[in-house]
Chain A
Amino acid sequence: MDLCRMPAHELGRLLRERKVSALELTDAVFSRIDAVEDKVKAYLLLLREEARSQARAVDAALAAKEELPPLAGVPLAVKDNLCMTGVETTCASKILKGFVPPYDATVIERLKEQRVVFTGKTNMDEFAMGSSTENSGFYPTANPWDLKRVPGGSSGGSAAAVAAGEAVTAIGSDTGGSIRLPAAFCGVVGLKPTYGRVSRYGLVAFASSLDQIGPITRDVRDCALLLNAIAGHDPRDSTSAPQEVPDYTEFLVPEIKGFRIGIPKEYVAEGIAPAVRDVLAEAVHLLTRMGAVVEETSLPHVSYSLPAYYLIAPAEASSNLARYDGVRYGLRVEGEDVVTMYKKTRSRGFGAEVKRRIMLGTYALSAGYYDAYYLKALKVRTLIRRDFDAAFERFDMLLSPTSPTPPFRIGEKVDDPLAMYLTDICTLAVSLAGVPGLSIPAGFAGHLPVGIQLIGPPFTEGKLLRVAYAFEQEAGITAKRPVL
């Protein structure tokens, strides 16, 4: 029985049946971390002792026959942009090195209620800006399937940890694809919920109108369980939605007859690698065989999502990141007056990509350019959302590749920002429209995992999970794990 390869729902059953203790499970995960972390570098911070004491507490509760939530005792990794009381939170940035939040993000609070075991904080692109985790201010993370390749980003550490067995499940955040892309590159499941489904309170802000927190898991059932735990309204995030949270596991039935699934032709056009196209074609074949009705459709403005996103997200980031000024927390580099202090602190503390986006966003918002760039991008965002609304009149959901290519080599795109940005071409529009996107493993390009993305109308995570579950049962992809 390899505890490091099993999904959370199976481990939860073993824990409740007392076939394995939470401490044994936690120790097994940390042994795995000791064995492979040197190669993968998924974590920025490990919480070994804290995890062991959380596990012991769960074991004590189990021994006392307490009724525990489904994820109790399950080792879970947290992306380093979520605040956790007493635990250093850096966003992989030198400017936040040493910052220890005095409060919990709402998602962390809810996971503590679930009594999960927190393994540590995972690596990411600095402030979640990137598609490969190479923009971490500390070190890059490797893809567990091929250590010379990137795990995707920005939640690369979370996805790599789950794929490598260094955590059972993980939390990521997604602004333009930062959960879905690394999930696809690492062969795991990743969900960006509908904007507003999960509270952002305590998530270090990148682009506030786009950021969403979501699960990264070994299989679809775990994804439903984790979404159950974190979704719901929060008075501390005024953009969190008041919609009821259903029990997402109730959607998991392997029956999709009559589901109407649209394939936006723009997502199978030029620029999509043949191997990715093949995996998508296979998936369509399988879904059709299972009784779904799969047809081509169109999102006419989707090709404009990349330029629109790379104006809107940096504009919001340039404003959000103004708070890093060396006054209240984090790094300070002294200067003779306050403006010099700001400039020296920010220039030393931020990495190249973060500075590039602050520059881009500041430019797009500056006098004389606001209408031409930022306002224009917001109008195009409306057109993109309308495309989705129109498509969802005919289809229950849409299907696309998650990434146009399999994972690329470390270093391949670092000097060409535009080439790096193109990695997100299949995920950006979903973020701009605020709708949910679920990436699931669908096949391989040689030894490298390939993911597909299911996209639904707002608050239809349940339906997406159902189709994903049915597909997963039929395709049997998740049985494969990387050899390290």
Chain B
Amino acid sequence: MITRKDVEHVALLGRLELSEEEIEVYTKQLGRILDYASVLNELDTENVPPMAHVLPLQNVFRQDAVGRHLDPEAVLSHAPDREDRFFRVPRLV
């Protein structure tokens, strides 16, 4: 069963700030969804390999050569805050 504390912990991991009301609603809704998901335990998957991907691709290589790339100015022009050729963020520590 998912608790209010779990929801607060997961919100922190997901970098979300939830309101009191959201915490309450998500505790209930996630609980219901995860309860429903527990039907998967009916299946014996002991010897079944997991499938992260449907295509039988292994490593996909390309030439290690400089190709076309985006103009740094075009990319930086979207930044909410910048300085020269850097993205600016609030203090980290």
A54 to B4: give the CA distance in the assembly, Å.
55
Q: CB-defined interface of B58-93 with A at 8 Å, one 1/0 digit per residue?
A: 001010000000110011011111000001011110
A366:B80 contact, CB within 8 angstroms: no
B15:A327 contact, CB within 8 angstroms: no
Say yes or no for A464: interface residue by CB 8 A criterion. no
CB distance from B59 to the nearest CB of A (A): 9
A363-387 interface with B by 8 A CB criterion = 363, 366, 373, 375-383, 385
CB distance from A370 to the nearest CB of B (A): 11
B37:A307 contact, CB within 8 angstroms: yes
Query: A103: which B residues are within 8 A, CB to CB?
Result: 70
Binding stretch for chain B, among A39-47, A256-264, A328-336: A328-336
CB distance from B4 to the nearest CB of A (A): 13
> Taking A327-B79, A356-B29 as contacts, is the C-beta distance between A336 and B90 under 8 angstroms?
yes
> Taking A310-B37, A347-B16 as contacts, is the C-beta distance between A385 and B50 under 8 angstroms?
no
B40:A380 contact, CB within 8 angstroms: yes
A232 to B74: give the CA distance in the assembly, Å.
28
Residues of A contacting B: mostly: helix
A301 to B50: give the CA distance in the assembly, Å.
15
Give the residue name and chain of the A residue nearest to B6 (CB). A363
A339:B50 contact, CB within 8 angstroms: no
What is the interface size of chain A, counting residues whose CB is below 8 A from a CB of the partner?
68
A433 to B53: give the CA distance in the assembly, Å.
9
In the complex, the number of residue pairs spanning A and B with C-beta atoms less than 8 Å apart equals 157
A359:B50 contact, CB within 8 angstroms: no
A375 to B51: give the CA distance in the assembly, Å.
9
A404-463 interface with B by 8 A CB criterion = 417-418, 421, 433-434, 458
> Taking A332-B81, A418-B33 as contacts, is the C-beta distance between A375 and B10 under 8 angstroms?
no
B23-67 interface with A by 8 A CB criterion = 26, 29-30, 32-34, 36-41, 43, 45, 48-55, 57, 60, 62
Say yes or no for A271: interface residue by CB 8 A criterion. no
Q: Which interface class (under 10, 10 to 19, 20 to 34, 35 or more) fits B?
A: 35 or more
Query: B39: which A residues are within 8 A, CB to CB?
Result: 304, 307
User: A209 touches which one: B48, B52, B70 (CB < 8 A)?
Assistant: B52
Query: B34: which A residues are within 8 A, CB to CB?
Result: 360, 363, 373
B57:A239 contact, CB within 8 angstroms: yes
B89:A382 contact, CB within 8 angstroms: no
Query: A222: which B residues are within 8 A, CB to CB?
Result: none
B16:A311 contact, CB within 8 angstroms: no
B87:A328 contact, CB within 8 angstroms: yes
B78:A337 contact, CB within 8 angstroms: no
A169-197 interface with B by 8 A CB criterion = 195-196
A307:B43 contact, CB within 8 angstroms: no
Give the residue name and chain of the B residue nearest to A85 (CB). B74
CB distance from A364 to the nearest CB of B (A): 8
Say yes or no for A251: interface residue by CB 8 A criterion. no
A195:B54 contact, CB within 8 angstroms: yes
A335 to B15: give the CA distance in the assembly, Å.
13
B41:A376 contact, CB within 8 angstroms: yes
Query: B62: which A residues are within 8 A, CB to CB?
Result: 235
A352 to B22: give the CA distance in the assembly, Å.
9
Say yes or no for A362: interface residue by CB 8 A criterion. yes
Query: A339: which B residues are within 8 A, CB to CB?
Result: 15
User: A382 touches which one: B51, B71, B78, B80 (CB < 8 A)?
Assistant: B51
CB distance from B89 to the nearest CB of A (A): 5
A109 to B34: give the CA distance in the assembly, Å.
41
Say yes or no for B1: interface residue by CB 8 A criterion. no
> Taking A355-B16, A376-B40 as contacts, is the C-beta distance between A382 and B79 under 8 angstroms?
no
Query: B70: which A residues are within 8 A, CB to CB?
Result: 102-103
Query: B29: which A residues are within 8 A, CB to CB?
Result: 356, 417
B55:A383 contact, CB within 8 angstroms: no
15 other A-B residue contacts (CB within 8 Å) besides A327-B87, A380-B48: A100-B78, A102-B71, A196-B55, A307-B37, A308-B40, A310-B37, A336-B90, A338-B90, A343-B16, A350-B16, A352-B22, A360-B34, A362-B10, A362-B14, A379-B48
Q: Report 14 cross-chain contacts, Cβ distance below 8 Å, ordered by A residue.
A: A99-B78, A102-B71, A239-B57, A307-B38, A308-B40, A310-B37, A328-B78, A332-B80, A355-B16, A356-B26, A378-B51, A378-B52, A385-B51, A433-B54
